[in-house]
A and B are shown apart, each in its own frame.
Chain A
Amino acid sequence: DAKTTQPTSMDCAEGRAANLPCNHSTISGNEYVYWYRQIHSQGPQYIIHGLKNNETNEMASLIITEDRKSSTLILPHATLRDTAVYYCIVGVQHGSSNTGKLIFGQGTTLQVKP
């Protein structure tokens, strides 16, 4: 599985968009980009995933560059409850041949400030 690089920490003002970058320059053609987050003392929570195209759901948007070597997770209107560690993970998607092992790095600690 490809390795990812994320900034250690970021701040964001409440109500503003939070843009969290991730580099995955060694990603291979069949690997997806996943984002999870972990609010203090809780289990991680799935946010979104994508392969090539930009994706959006009720929680966030995922922008993947055309060469797929980097991506950005966007929280459009950050709230205090979005303060968490955000993990960018690269891996093969689904199917019976995929064991679904997730390799967590240290992630980005996002602090949303009033």
Chain B
Amino acid sequence: NAGVTQTPKFRVLKTGQSMTLLCAQDMNHEYMYWYRQDPGMGLRLIHYSVGEGTTAKGEVPDGYNVSRLKKQNFLLGLESAAPSQTSVYFCASRRQSSYNEQFFGPGTRLTVL
């Protein structure tokens, strides 16, 4: 049981490049979330999903797109990366029927030059 995994762990992009971050969970959780964390700050919600095929915007969705084609996977895309998107990205998941215990992945450290 791996929990929540994130791929890749590190990435460096040039401004304007695109990339996709993958989040996978093996706990059969319905809800999944993408957060970003800037230095010295708390996490901010980018997008979330309450089930396969559904997504919704969080606090800071601009510049990102997401997809949830399979229940276990939640993808975060950057179509045209900007230096302001340099951050650590965390994915989380939880059961729909549970209290709000979210299980977080180890994070992806992204640098945009």
Residues of A in contact with B (beta carbons under 8 Å apart): 32, 34, 41-46, 49, 87, 91, 93-96, 98-107
**In the complex the two chains form, is A46's CB within 8 Å of B102's CB?**
yes
Q: How large is the interface on B (under 10, 10 to 19, 20 to 34, 35 or more residues)?
A: 20 to 34
A96→B107 contact, CB < 8 A: no
The interface stretch among B13-21, B38-46, B68-76, B77-85 is: B38-46
At the interface, yes or no: B98 with Cβ under 8 Å from chain A?
yes
Q: Find chain B residues with CB under 8 A from A32 CB.
A: 99-100
Interchain CB contact under 8 A, B101 and A102: no
Residue of B nearest to A45 (CB): B104
* Majority secondary structure of chain A interface residues (helix, strand, loop or mixed): loop
Further pairs besides A43-B92, A98-B100: 5, Cβ < 8 Å: A43-B90, A44-B43, A94-B97, A103-B59, A106-B42
Q: A42 to B42, Cβ gap below 8 A?
A: no
Which A residue sits closest to B56, measured CB to CB? A99
The answer to whether B48 touches A94 (Cβ under 8 A) is: no
Contact (Cβ within 8 A) B42 A105: yes
Chain A residues, Cβ within 8 Å of B35: 104
B40 engages A96 (CB within 8 Å): no
- Complex Cα spacing A101 to B33, Å: 8
Contact surface of B with A, Cβ cutoff 8 Å: 4, 31, 33, 35, 40-45, 48, 50, 56, 58-59, 90, 92, 94, 96-107
14 residue pairs of the A-B complex, CB under 8 angstroms, read A32-B100, A42-B104, A44-B104, A46-B102, A46-B103, A87-B42, A94-B98, A94-B100, A96-B97, A99-B56, A101-B45, A101-B58, A102-B100, A104-B44
Nearest Cβ distance between residue A68 and chain B, in whole angstroms?
A: 17
Give the residues in chain B near A100, CB-CB below 8 Å: 31, 33, 48, 94, 100, 102
> Which of A43, A45, A93, A104 lies at the interface centre, i.e. has the most chain B CB atoms within 10 A of its CB?
A43
Which residues of chain B have C-beta atoms less than 8 A from A43's C-beta? 4, 90, 92, 104-107
Closest Cβ–Cβ distance, residue B96 to chain A (whole Å): 6
Are B99 and A102 in touch, CB under 8 angstroms? no
